[in-house]
Amino acid sequence: MPTTINRKQLFVASCLSLLVTSLSFGIRAGILGRLGVQFNLSKEELGTIAATAFWGFPLAVIIGGIVVDAIGMKRLLMLAFFFHLAGILLTIFAGGYWTLFLSTLLIGIANGTVEAACNPLVTAIYSDNKTTKLNHFHLWFPGGIFLGTLLVFLFDKIGLGWQIQMAVMLIPTALYGFLFFKLDFPVTERVASGVSTAEMYKSLLTPLFWFMIICMFGTAITELFTGQWINLLLSNVTSNPILLLTITTGVMVVGRGLAEPVVHKLSPQGVLLASTVFATLGLYMLGHSTGNMLFVGALVFGVGVCYFWPTMLGFVSENLPKTGAVGINLMGGAGMFAVSLYTIIMGGYYDKLIANKLPSGADLKLYNSPDASAEMKTALDAANKAAGPEVLNATLIIPIILIVAFAGLFFYMRSKRKPAAAI
């Protein structure tokens, strides 16, 4: 690695760029309900807006993964800076559904571009400790959501509007843009190791890689759909639903900060299996609890999803290194694409659940509008209270399937290592 590469400053700037990504999730999760009220949007329309960030992400992360070796990580990150800036400003000055849709798309593209460049950047500058440093880097995803939800909670208490909450994101955006502009970058690990482009694409066809892609669908939905929607789904079950997300992400920050001994003790596949068990238990508690037990469920759920994203990427980078930046970014893109589809589907499902709990023939738009009568609002609150946990319960099947999948992965990897140890 050239002496001009300052890996500490590159890592700090990478963390700042991921902080902006996560703040966009945390703040949007906190203000989603208010956007619906202010612009008279249905749950399906809110679901489509929220999903836009998730399908803007895979679009950017997959394209970025393909071109990053050719154009370099620095150019990608400068693009991310401009997309973040445009998306944040457009959200602040939004006037309705389509401006919110476009601004969320731009932020999603920026978020995906950050991942497309920063994941291979971290594996390049810390090639001797990939999974641990990816966990330390991705600590800033729950960290930003934690900060974002706290900002929403505190700003709401003092009466500051959601536009000011979004504007806070401009500070770390400016900082990471400045740092990346002035720093020198290494080449990606795949380029440095001399693996050819043909060899990289050939390695993407291995069964293990596609097994991990499919599992990424499930881990991403379990973590990100629940995190983005928890405030909306449980807003009528607890008076402080945003604190559920704050607790979950707070646990994730601590867990990812302590990743090194955990990963080395259990192995990446062991971490994934244990995580899925906790995620299943936590999601079950969130869907079947009330009162203070909801906060216990949030804590258990946070333990469960804590290591999902970075450990999935770390497993591929360590066990399928020839897949390079494309392999890591295809994993991230697959996860976000799955979340985007699932969010749209569950938005419509949520509306149907609510409609079924309202009087026969009720117009859901009217019940959600400012013109709704007191009786309508009471009925809608009761329908939301019953429907929110049902969405979580429907999602519960996904981590249950993952327990079986990761148990198989654990024993498969152990069987592979036995002959290697014998040799």
| Domain ranges for the chain | 7-422
Return per-residue pLDDT of the chain as tens, 423 residues.
445 778 899 999 999 999 998 888 777 767 777 787 788 887 778 878 877 877 788 888 888 888 888 888 999 999 999 999 999 999 889 888 898 899 889 998 999 899 889 998 998 888 888 888 998 999 898 888 778 778 877 887 888 888 888 898 999 999 999 999 999 898 877 777 778 888 888 889 999 999 999 999 999 999 988 877 776 666 655 667 767 878 888 899 899 998 888 888 888 999 999 999 999 999 999 888 877 888 899 899 999 999 999 999 989 988 998 898 889 889 988 998 898 889 888 878 888 888 888 877 777 777 767 777 777 777 777 777 777 778 888 899 999 999 999 999 999 998 876 554 444
Contact 215, 229 (CB under 8 A): no
Neighbours of 411 (CB within 10 A): 12
The Cα–Cα gap between 11 and 13 comes to 5
* CATH number, domain 7-422, options 3.30.70.20, 1.20.1250.20, 3.40.50.300, 3.30.420.40: 1.20.1250.20
pLDDT at 233: 62
Q: What's at 9, amino acid-wise?
A: Q
| 396 SS3 class | coil
Distance between CA atoms of residues 224 and 299, nearest Å: 15
Q: What pLDDT is recorded for position 232?
A: 61
From the number of C-beta atoms within 10 Å of its C-beta (0-12, 13-18, 19+), residue 341 rates as middle
Q: Taking each helix axis from N to C terminus, what angle separates 308-319 and 207-220, rounded to the nearest 10 degrees?
A: 170
The pLDDT assigned to 32 comes to: 74
- What's residue 170's pLDDT? 94
Q: What is the pLDDT of residue 286?
A: 87
Token pair 């002496």: residue:
3
User: For residue 318, which of 138, 130, 120 has the smallest C-alpha distance?
Assistant: 130
Place of tokens 């290494």: 186
Angle at 302 between CA 297 and CA 306, to 5 degrees: 155
CA distance 190 to 204: 13
DSSP reduced 3-state for 216: helix
Distance in angstroms (rounded) separating the CA atoms of residues 319 and 322? 9
Could you tell me which residues come within 8 angstroms of residue 236 by beta carbon, excluding any fewer than 6 positions away?
Answer: 381, 382, 384, 385, 388
State the Cα–Cα distance between residues 158 and 141, nearest whole angstrom: 26
The SS3 of residue 391 is helix
Q: How many whole angstroms separate alpha carbon 366 and alpha carbon 219?
A: 36
